[in-house]
Amino acid sequence: MAIEDALQERGVSVAVASTLAGAIDLVAARVPAAALLDIHLPDGESLDLASRLYGAGCAIAISSAFDADAIPADFGFAVQFRKPVSPEVLAEWASGVIG
């Protein structure tokens, strides 16, 4: 996966989930420093997860093919990337947030 590779090249530890259930399982044990979430996953939307992670101190970026107005107004805490977005842009965001 290009995004995963771009992050790992910058020394960022990566965990990938392709479903909402998988993402919830990944973060159950440890809240990440940053999370890049696709809004629409095969088994649900990640907006509630984004809110929970943000409340726990996680930096959030949302990637979506939909217009920015598809993201609720109270999600101003999340950086928004409209698909398609290059893996390098996403990796730059993550490495900048993580430090």
**pTM (2 decimals)?**
0.85
pLDDT of residue 59: 95
Pairing of strands 40-41, 44-45: antiparallel
**Structural domain for 43, as ranges:** 2-95
Number of domains in the chain: 1
Q: What is the mean pLDDT of residues 66-89?
A: 79
pLDDT of residue 68: 62
pLDDT of residue 31: 94
Q: CATH code at 65? A: 3.40.50.2300
Non-local CB neighbours of 11 within 8 Å, separated by 6+ positions: 95
| Model confidence pLDDT, tens digit, residues 23-43 | 999 999 899 999 999 988 999
Say what percent of the chain tops pLDDT 70: 93
